[in-house]
Amino acid sequence: MNIPLDRHSPTPIYLQIRNYLSRLIKSGKIPDGQKLPSIRVMSTSIQVNKLTVIEAYSLLEADGLIHARQGSGYFVNRTITVLSNLTLRSTFSPSQEVIISQGGGSFFEQYTASIQARRQQDIIEFSSGFPSSSISDNLQRVAKRALANAGDILFREDFPQGQLMLRQLIAQMLVQQGLEVSPEDIIITTGSQQALSLAMQYYLQKDDWVIVETPTYHGALGILENLQAKVIGIPMTVEGMNLELLEQYLKSHRPKLIYTISTLHNPTGITTSQNHRQDLLKLAEQYECFILEDNAYEGLNFQPVPSPIKALDRHNLVTYISTFSKTLMPGLRVGYMVVTGEHYQSLVKHKLLNDLHASTVSQAIVSEFLASGHYRRHLNRLRINNLQSRNVMLQALENYFPEAITWTIPKGGLFLWTHLPHYLPIQAICSEALSHNVLVASGAAFFLGQGYPAMRLNFCQTPEDIEHGIKILGQLIKKYLTKSFISIDLPSQYVSVSSIHL
C-alpha cells in the first residue's frame, strides 16, 4: 500500500497515516472485513518506523474503524463507520420533576424475571444489565489457567480488603482511567452491589435524606428502601443530574449522600462532562455531602470519557465503585470500592462483618486477566462488538419505531433508554412483548414514583434478534398509539407522573 506522506507537514506522520486510511475506510475503498497490511509490511512500504504504524493503527482502532484479531492482524470494521454516519434521531428531554419517596423501583421482580428469561432458549432478552456471553470462550480458558496457577491461596481465608496483587492491578488500571489511587485505598467486594450496600449502610441512617438521579439503578433504590432512607430523586437532563435542582434540595433538605452514576449512567447511558463533574463536587463540598459514584460500566466507553469525580476529590467526600461484572463474567462477583481517608478502615470492618472477604477463587481469576493483558484485549473486543450492536439497534429503532418515541445514543455501555409518550401503557406493552418472547426492562423499575413510560433496551444481542425484537416492539407501540388516540378516557395512571411526598 502506498500512502502519500508529507514529511515537512506540521501534522505528525502517524496522524497522516491514520487520516488517509480513515478516509479510505469511510468511503468504502477499503472494503468491510479487509485485512490491513501488517505493521512490518506497512512500515517497510511507506518507510516509517514500526512504532509510527502502531500509533496510527491504535488510533484507527480507538475510532472504531478497525479491530485487531489476536495473531492475525488488523481488520476493517466498515459496518460501524457507515452506521455511525447515520443521521441519528436522538432527543431526550424528560420532565424535570423532583420525586420524593422512601425507596422504590422493583429490583427483585425485574432481576428474577431477567434471570428466568435467560434460561429460556427462544427469548430475546433486551432487559438485562449484563453483557452477552457469546464472546467468552477465551474467558473460560484464562479462568482455568488462573485456577491452575493460583495454588495455595484458593484454600486459605484472606484479608477483608482483598488480595494485594489484585488491588495493585486495579490501582494500575485506574491510573489509566485518570484516577490515581494506591492499593491501600481499594477494597475488593462481592460484586459492586455489595460495595453499594456497604457504602450506603455506612453513610446513611434510617430517615436520613439521600439524593439519587431520576431515573437510576433500581438495585440502589432497593438498598435505600431497606435502609428506610428518605430519597430525593433529582431528574436527569441530557447533561446528567439537574444541578440547579440539586442545589435547591441540598440547601433545603441537607442530605447526607448523593448517589450518582457519572459514566454510562444506568439506565439512560448518559456520561457527564468534566464541567458537570466539577460542579457536582463543588456543590457537595459546599453543602458537606458525601458522594457515592457508581461507575459499574466504566471501561465500556466507545470514546474517551472524563476521569471519575473521585479523581477531583481533595476532601475524602467521594467513594468510587466499579465492577468486573459488566466486562468479564457477572457470576464471578468481583467488584471494588475506592475509599480514602478515615473511611477506609471503617468500611474494611463493615466488609469483614458482612462476609469476611470476597471469593479468593474469583479474585485469582480477575488477577490473571489483568496481569496477562487479556483484560485490555478483551475490553477492546467487547467495545467493538457493543458499538456494532448499538448501531444495529439504532438502525432498527429508526426503521420500526414511530416518530413519537425518543431515545438516547449512549457512547458506550450495554443499553439505551427509550422514552415513550406519557399516555402509553408501558406495563401492557411490556407484557404483550413478553407473549411474543421479547423481554424488556420497563422503565418503571428505575423510578422512585411511577416516572414516565420508558424502556431500557440491552443492545448486546445478535443482529437478527435486534431486528426481530425491535420490529415487534415497534408494532406494539404503534398499536397502542392508535388505540390511545381513539380512546376517550385514558386510565389516570397513564396520564400523570406521580410524586409521593413524605
Ligand X SMILES: Cc1ncc(COP(=O)(O)O)c(C=O)c1O
C-alpha distances (whole Å) from 48 to each of 11, 13, 52, 74 are: 15, 8, 7, 18
By CB under 6 A, tell whether 192 contacts ligand X.
yes
- Helices 343-355 and 191-203 sit at what angle, rounded to 10 degrees? 120
- 458 sits near ligand X (criterion: CB under 6 A): no
- Round to whole Å and give the CA distance between 224 and 206: 9
Decide if residue 327 touches ligand X (CB under 6 A).
Answer: no
CB of 292 to ligand X, least distance (A): 10
**Alpha carbon distance 233, 258 (integer Å):** 10
Minimum distance from CB of 337 to ligand X (Å)? Answer: 11
Least distance (Å) from ligand X to the CB of residue 142? 19
Instruction: Select 261 or 438, whichever has its Cβ closest to ligand X.
Output: 261
Cα 38 to Cα 44, 73, 74, 76, distances in angstroms: 10, 6, 7, 13
d(CA 117, CA 90): 29
Name the residue nearer to ligand X (CB basis): 110 or 163: 110
- Contacts with ligand X, 262-291, as mask; x by CB under 6 A: ----x-------------------------
User: Of the listed pieces 66-74, 185-193, 337-345, 392-400, which binds ligand X according to CB under 6 A?
Assistant: 185-193
| Closest-approach residue to ligand X (CB) | 191
How far apart are alpha carbons 309 and 338 in whole angstroms?
12
Tell the residue number behind the cell numbers 485469582, with chain if given: 364
> Distance between CA 346 and CA 352 in Å, rounded?
10
- Write out the binding residues for ligand X, residues 206-265 only, by CB under 6 A: 217, 219, 261
What's the one-letter identity of residue 202? Answer: Y
* Among the listed residues 183, 330, 421, 474, the single contact to ligand X using CB under 6 A: 330
| Region binding ligand X by CB under 6 A among candidate stretches 68-76, 222-230, 323-331, 372-380 | 323-331
Nearer to ligand X, 323 or 418 (CB): 323
In angstroms, give the least distance from the CB of 424 to ligand X. Answer: 25
Place of cell 472494503: 31
Residue 35 Cβ, how far from ligand X at the closest point, in Å?
A: 37
What's the closest the beta carbon of residue 415 comes to ligand X, in angstroms?
9
Stretch that binds ligand X, among 187-195, 225-233, 364-372, 472-480 (CB under 6 A): 187-195
Q: How far apart are the first and last CA of the chain?
A: 69
Q: Which residues in the 128-167 window bind ligand X by CB under 6 A?
A: 129
Q: Does 335 bind ligand X (CB under 6 A)?
A: yes
Helix (H) or strand (E) holding 75, with range, is: strand 73-76
Of 363, 372, 369, 365, nearest to 162 by C-alpha is 363
Sites of contact with ligand X (CB under 6 A):
129, 191-193, 196, 217, 219, 261, 266, 294, 296, 323, 325, 330, 335
